[in-house]
Amino acid sequence: MTAVRLLIGTQKGAFTATADATRREWTLAGPLFRGWEVYHIAGSPADPDRLYASQSTGWFGQIVQRSDDGGSTWRPVSNDFSYDGEPGTHQWYDGTPHPWEFARVWHLEPSLADPDTVLAGVEDAALFRTTDGGGSWHELSGLRTHRSSPSWMPGAGGMAVHTILVHPSDPGRMHVAISAAGVFRTDDGGATWTPANRGLRSQGIPNEDAEVGHCVHRVARHPSRPDTLFMQKHWDVMRSDDGGDSWVEVSGDLPTDFGFPIAVHDHEPETVYVVPITSDSEHYVPEGRLRVYRSRTGGHEWEPLTDGLPQRDCYVNVLRDAMAVDSLDPCGLYFGTTGGQVYASADGGDRWSAVVRDLPRVLSVEVQALP
Amino acid sequence: MVLPHHLRVLAGVSGEVRLDVPAPVTQRRVLDALEVRHPQLRGTVRHPETLLRRPFVRFYACELDLSHDGPDEPLPAEVAEGREALHVVGAVAGG
């Protein structure tokens, strides 16, 4: 691979940043979709020129954009995310039944093998798929119609499918994560789903060990170990080694175990990254210091990564979809902040530098390795 | 019609959008014609399923606020006859 391309979604548009394999000098392009929230942009692993973007505003709703030339030009594709049948209700914040209402696409997950196939995680929580490059979207309604779904409740940011993990060798097997219902697993392509939250404990919900109802912020895994999952939860960093059947806490010596993103080193399946923030009430890094934490042991023991990151007067957060790793060697890491900075490391997190400093609030970061 | 900035960009238009709408000219029929001409605008002015006006979008014409008129009420004759534009305005709300 000779280059990398960052796909950056922000509160007021999207940007791309490209660099060669040294990942030192960056060229920024944008803003695309000026003034719109871009929750996520993703590239197809099968065709790096095929990109999809989720573009939305509270005023005008949801647009999905597609590029066939690596982001130089874009065209809208279908934005019809109609739920199958009568959508029913879920719990509202006050515990009353609330109609299921589509709000936006939170996450796009292109197929590993087919650039025309993309999964979309949406708010209110549901999973959709296109197989025609965005020409049409169809709900995998087995998730939303799970027997527990009337009890699902939104997290503070909404009730959304924000994480989609497709098994690297079996596309019929997937894990998704929903705020604030938890993790669900399918082994039959989305027809049926099973909660996968045993071992999660959430203070503040009526049953701390409930089957569903946990606010899972993000789940990540290494493709070589599809049954080993790492989770950043609303408090607690967790690990499963049985595909989500059970979870154990691996927060260890983190200064705080509250945060949003979690990522796994591309070549080291036991090397995990998180960005702790102060608390559920204070969504910024502790002590004014921006620190990424790395564990080389799959959790428990964590080290702060600070070289090149601000260590004073910094009060930003990193949102759940705003951290990414590349497949180059050494592995590169990238994250964007709510303060509009995007940082890159070309050496697994040992040293960081700013790609760009003054973007709008960063909502998502993805990275492509380009031939 | 006069569209707000974001929808003009999305549709790739500038200035007014002129539509041929059979009588009776109503909000529903005007938006139907708009979405046929510019499919990418489907769901941006009215909810794609209920076809109700999106909450942060308003309709004005002839110095009147038509936002709360029913979708099947005839628009003012000046709009139907092309002498005045129907303005689609995004609410001036924060963020």
Percent of chain A beyond pLDDT 90? 95
Q: How far is A241 from chain B (nearest CA, A)?
A: 42
- pTM, to two decimals: 0.95
- Determine, for residues A79 and B43 on separate chains, whether the beta-carbon distance falls below 8 Å: yes
- Determine, for residues B44 and A82 on separate chains, whether the beta-carbon distance falls below 8 Å: no
**Mutation choice for A interface testing from B7, B9, B10 by most A CBs within 10 A:** B10
> Does residue B16 lie in a domain region?
yes
- Domain range for B79: 5-90
Contact A69, A49 (CB under 8 A): yes
> Does residue B54 lie in a domain region?
yes
Lowest mean pLDDT among A116-120, A148-152, A208-212, A234-238: A208-212
**Average pLDDT over chain A, rounded to an integer:** 96
Give the whole-angstrom CA distance, residue A5 versus residue B41: 30
With 90 as the cut, is the pLDDT of residue A93 above it?
no
With 70 as the cut, is the pLDDT of residue B94 above it?
no
- Nearest alpha-carbon partner for A31 in A3, A2, A55: A55
> Does residue B10 lie in a domain region?
yes
Give the whole-angstrom CA distance, residue A51 versus residue A7: 9
Q: Which two tokens stand for residue B28?
A: 């529903």
With 60 as the cut, is the pLDDT of residue A33 above it?
yes
Using pLDDT thresholds of 50, 70 and 90, give the confidence band for residue B38.
very high
> Does residue B70 lie in a domain region?
yes
Contact A137, A116 (CB under 8 A): no
Residues 6+ away with beta carbon under 8 Å from A192: A142, A186
Within 8 A of A76 by CB-CB distance, chain B residues are 10, 40
ipTM surpassing 0.90 = no
Q: What is the pLDDT of residue A3?
A: 96
Using pLDDT thresholds of 50, 70 and 90, give the confidence band for residue A153.
very high
Q: What CATH number corresponds to the domain at position B78? A: 3.10.20.30
> Does residue B95 lie in a domain region?
no
Q: What is the pLDDT of residue A266?
A: 98
Within 8 A of A58 by CB-CB distance, chain B residues are 56, 93, 95
Q: Which two tokens stand for residue A266?
A: 């591309």
Q: Does A84 touch chain B (CB under 8 A)?
A: no
- How many domains does chain B contain in total? 1
Give the whole-angstrom CA distance, residue B64 versus residue B43: 24
